[in-house]
A and B are shown apart, each in its own frame.
Chain A
């Protein structure tokens, strides 16, 4: 055993990859059903914001992520957007990342179709609009959203033809008091902290950004935070509509357990090797 532990730090990385792959694949095939606990300080405020909004209220959202963050942030966007449609809110989306626009362009249509199939109104142009990626000239957007966006949405529609956009000429606190940004880096929430400080800002971020965003959550610059895949799973639980995030949390948990074991073994190996000189 001692010899195994001493030689553990020299293990072939491919064996670790294999162990990790098994730890992740098995729970995906055969879910264990680990409990998901809703965080009252981060996830709950985001859910409560939508839950307590009145039907017809306008909410903005920003899709600022790419393929690398798709697995974490798309389940967040999916759950949040479905919730908006369920509550009869009017959602208007932009993207600071081109890749975010590409991902959301397809995803939103899929979620809207699912919401309609469940009996909720989710008609494009009436209940939601996705403006997509634009040159984010923020000051101008506040004053004249139409012109800044060239009067065109992501799907090539003219704003004139979209009834919802008749109510959204500007992007100010009067149009929409609160919005959410799904972000994976820069440009991200910083844009809004500077230019939309008069609005209630909510964030859905990748796990790696959680530590950084805690400081702006604590200082109440943002009102709520969806943290990685776990945040998405918690939102799905609150919504009562389990989706991709819920089904993957078992694998996530088991993956973490494997990493903890590897860290402990690696440290024991390091200490033993140091002792032996």
Chain B
């Protein structure tokens, strides 16, 4: 997709407006933030309606004649009761919430456990392999850190738990390092846009 110069200038302006926050909070940053939110919500809503809701309505309700699906429309609309009448009827929003939560929990318990079980089974690999042995030891130590009831006063559990805590710290450190890497990548993406798409054509290189 080719961008026009005007579009590139607008994108560059908003990129710099967002990064201006690094100096201090300012009106340009606020403007960029609100504009982004409004655009994202507006475009997302339109896409949902045109590419998801309308086609789904056509195939599942009109073609299949399952008109009772429409009953979920007023049920979903109960979410809005929190915003009207000073929240007087807000309790009605509990119905769609509890239905969706109930469905979600049931689905997760029924289907989601498999992935965790596979991971658990993996902790019991061939212990003649050093990696597997180390993995099992770390796993056991970390588990012991979370023993808050049985054996919490035991010296063995306490020591192993402390070792487990160090391993967790290493893991959190790795996670933090990865996060920083991700943030740098994010900045690099914008930097590349500013240098290659915005500045480079201006200086003619």
Contacts and interface: CB of A to CB of B under 8 A. Distances in A.
**Do A and B come from the same complex?**
yes
Interface of A: 14, 17, 24-25, 28-29, 68-72, 74, 98-99, 101-102, 106, 109-110, 132-135, 147, 149-152, 154, 156, 190, 193-195, 197, 206-212, 215-216, 218-221, 228-230, 244, 247-248, 251-252, 255-256, 259
A274 B54 CA distance: 64
A28 B195 contact: yes
A150 B58 contact: yes
Contact of A256 (B52, B122, B181, B195): B181
Nearest to A97: B44
Contact of A252 (B115, B175, B178, B188): B188
B111 A102 contact: no
B14 to A, nearest CB: 11
The secondary structure that dominates the B interface is: helix
Contacts of B23: 14
Interface string B166-183: 000001001100111110
Contacts of B148: none
Given A150-B58, A255-B188, 16 more contacts: A24-B184, A24-B191, A28-B191, A70-B189, A72-B185, A98-B43, A102-B43, A147-B59, A190-B115, A206-B182, A208-B175, A221-B119, A228-B181, A251-B191, A252-B185, A255-B184
Interface residues of B, number: 44
A247 B1 CA distance: 21
The binding surface of chain A is classed by DSSP as helix
Interface string B36-56: 000010011001101110111
Contacts of B190: 71
A142 B171 CA distance: 37
A220 B121 CA distance: 11
Contacts, number: 140
Most B CB atoms within 10 A — which of A152, A221, A256?
A152
Interface in B12-66: 22-23, 40, 43-44, 47-48, 50-52, 54-56, 58-60
Contacts of B76: none
Contacts of B187: 24, 71
Chain A CB count within 10 A is highest, among B1, B47, B51, for B51
B5 interface: no
Contact of B48 (A98, A206, A252): A98
A205 B124 CA distance: 27
Nearest to A254: B184
Contacts of B47: 98, 101-102, 133
B189 A207 contact: no
Nearest to B60: A147
B192 A252 contact: no
A218 B184 CA distance: 27
Interface in B120-142: 121-122, 135
Contacts of B181: 207-208, 228-230, 252, 256
B185 A135 contact: no
9 contacts: A25-B195, A69-B182, A71-B189, A135-B52, A197-B114, A208-B175, A218-B135, A248-B185, A252-B181
Contacts of A190: 112, 115
**A-B pairs with lowest CB-CB distance, top 6:** A150-B55, A71-B189, A219-B122, A207-B181, A207-B182, A193-B115
Given A135-B52, A195-B111, A28 B188 contact: yes
Given A218-B122, A259-B180, A154 B189 contact: no
A117 B60 CA distance: 41
B188 to A, nearest CB: 5
B130 to A, nearest CB: 14
